[in-house]
Amino acid sequence: MRHMGSKRIETERLLLRPFSVTDAEIMFRNWASDPEVTKYLTWKTHDSVESTRAICALWEQEAWKPDFYQWAIVLKERNEPIGSISVIRTNEKYDWAELGYCIGRAWWGRGLTAEGLRAVIEYLIREVGFQQVLACHDVNNPNSGAVMRKAGMKKQGVLRRSGSNNSDPCCDLAYYSILAEELDRPSPAFRPLARRKQALTKEKCVEILRQEKRGVLSLIGDEGWPYGVPHNHWYDPESGKIYFHSGATGHKIDAMRKDARASFCVMQQAELSEDGWSYYFNSVVVFGRLEIVTDHEEALEISRKLSYCFTDDRDYIEYEVEKAGFRVLCFALTPEHISGKRVHEK
């Protein structure tokens, strides 16, 4: 074990750095004063900026210690903290560290927490030397579990009546972990491509998901039978989620409520090869879990985004959303694995 403290860590969208007392007002405004953010946390909602300033001052004083790990999650595009992530306890006999985190409500659903969590996990394992990183969440807060899975952690189980927070003085906790040897290993549920030379880059896969308008959504249907259905979609580049809309009832909705696991396959229009008769085509397969969008205003905005994939007639879109929006159900696929390949069909 080689403790290195709260080293600055940079990701695509985030900078993780030690706290300063000058962060107090922003921390108070962006998350510490929001009871929705602290609902499932163990520390109380801050009632004044003085409370936040006191904790920031303490963290600043402790930052020099090599075994102190407390980061401000700074969004690069705003250049200000939007949340925090920390090591809340360690066990050096068994070389594990447990993490805690939170982020302001304005930035929920964009994949930012998972991005920061993954970066800290990699740092703690690769550079500090921990052999396992843990995290847990109240079972009534499943979105936190989705963050952990997206960061590569696996669910270990539920310890009943083992924790407390602002929502429940005696709650069940779901525990997740990742081992050092699992860090770069893909989940056994997602097989690697047999022909790796044909694999598309992650960037190319995302480009196809953004450009194409339709694919086939596959779920686990009645009595375990596979159920695949053609579906249009909208890929959100900020959160990395794929959104769909449908009626509020039916086989598809029943299936996702029984089992949230799904795959989505998109095929790009084929290109005629140089021989004049065969074709090249690119395909992308996404594995993940589906969740229904419960906020009505968010669902309406997603309906607009989906509509703009097919027309830019704003008046028509607003008319249709106003007329039928209350009947529309929107749902999202949060990717856990994406792969793509280029095939010469001959």
Task: Let me know if residue 188 belongs to a domain.
Answer: no
Query: Residue 176 pLDDT > 80, yes or no?
Result: yes
User: What is the arithmetic mean of pLDDT over 315-324?
Assistant: 84
- The domain containing residue 58 runs over which residues? 9-182
Find the mean pLDDT for residues 308-328. 84
What's the sign of the alpha-carbon dihedral 118, 119, 120, 124?
positive
Predicted local confidence at residue 319, as pLDDT: 86
Asked if pLDDT for residue 187 goes beyond 90, the answer is: no
Beta bridge partners of 199: 341
Which residues lie below 8 Å from residue 252, measured CB to CB, with a gap of 6+? 217, 219, 227, 229, 246
β pairing state of 261-267 and 214-220: antiparallel
**Lowest mean pLDDT, pick from 66-70, 106-110, 130-134:** 106-110
Residues 241, 315, single domain; the answer is yes
Asked, for residue 3, whether it belongs to a domain, the answer is no
The total number of structural domains in the chain stands at 2
Where would I find the H helices in 219-288?
251-258
Domain's final residue, options 150, 182, 214: 182
Q: Are residues 102 and 243 in the same domain?
A: no
Assess whether 99 and 212 both reside in one domain: no
Same structural domain, 300 and 244: yes
In a domain, 271, yes or no: yes
Task: Please state which of the ranges 55-64, 82-91, 256-265, 295-304 shows the lowest mean pLDDT.
Answer: 295-304
> For the range 310-318, what are the long-range contacts, defined as Cβ-Cβ under 8 Å and sequence gap of 24 or more?
310/213, 310/232
Residues 56 and 204 in one domain: no
CATH number at residue 178: 3.40.630.30
Residue 325: pLDDT band (50, 70, 90) is low
Predicted confidence band of residue 202 (pLDDT cuts 50, 70, 90): confident
Q: Is residue 264 pLDDT above 90, yes or no?
A: yes
What backbone phi and psi angles, to 5 degrees, belong to 61?
-65, -35
In a domain, 210, yes or no: yes
For residue 186, pLDDT over 70 is answered with no
**Final residue before a domain boundary, out of 136, 156, 182:** 182
N-to-C CA span, the chain: 55
Q: Indicate whether 275 and 319 sit together in one domain.
A: yes
Q: Report yes or no on 190 lying in a domain.
A: no
* 4, part of any domain: no
Same domain, residue pair 137 and 165: yes
Per-residue pLDDT band for 17 (boundaries 50, 70, 90) equals: very high
Average pLDDT for 33-44: 97
User: Whole-structure pTM over 0.75, yes or no?
Assistant: no
Domain identity same for 93 and 67: yes
Task: Quote the pLDDT of residue 6.
Answer: 96
In terms of domains, do 152 and 235 share one? Answer: no
Task: Return the SS3 of 236.
Answer: coil
Residues 32 and 174 reside in one and the same domain: yes
Mean pLDDT of 160-186: 92
User: Residue 256 sits in a domain of what CATH number?
Assistant: 2.30.110.10
Out of 134, 149, 182, pick the residue that ends a domain.
182
Angle, helix 296-308 to helix 314-324, in steps of 10 degrees: 140
Contacts 24+ apart (CB under 8 A), 85-94: 85/16, 85/116, 85/117, 85/120, 87/124, 90/130, 92/1, 94/131, 94/132
Q: Does residue 152 fall inside a structural domain?
A: yes
Burial label, 261 (beta-carbon count in 10 A; 0-12, 13-18, 19+): middle
**pLDDT of amino acid 188:** 67
Q: Does the pLDDT at position 196 exceed 80?
A: no
Tell me, what's the pLDDT at 63?
94
Residue 81: how many other CB atoms lie within 10 Å: 26
Determine phi and psi for 126, rounding to 5 degrees: -75, -40
Same domain, 212 and 122: no
Longest dimension (CA), the chain: 73
The answer to whether residues 159 and 288 belong to one domain is no
Which one of 58-62, 292-296, 304-308 scores highest in mean pLDDT? 58-62
Strand 96-103 versus strand 132-138 pairing type: parallel
Note whether residue 68 is domain-resident. yes
In the predicted structure, residue 177 carries a pLDDT above the cut 80 = yes
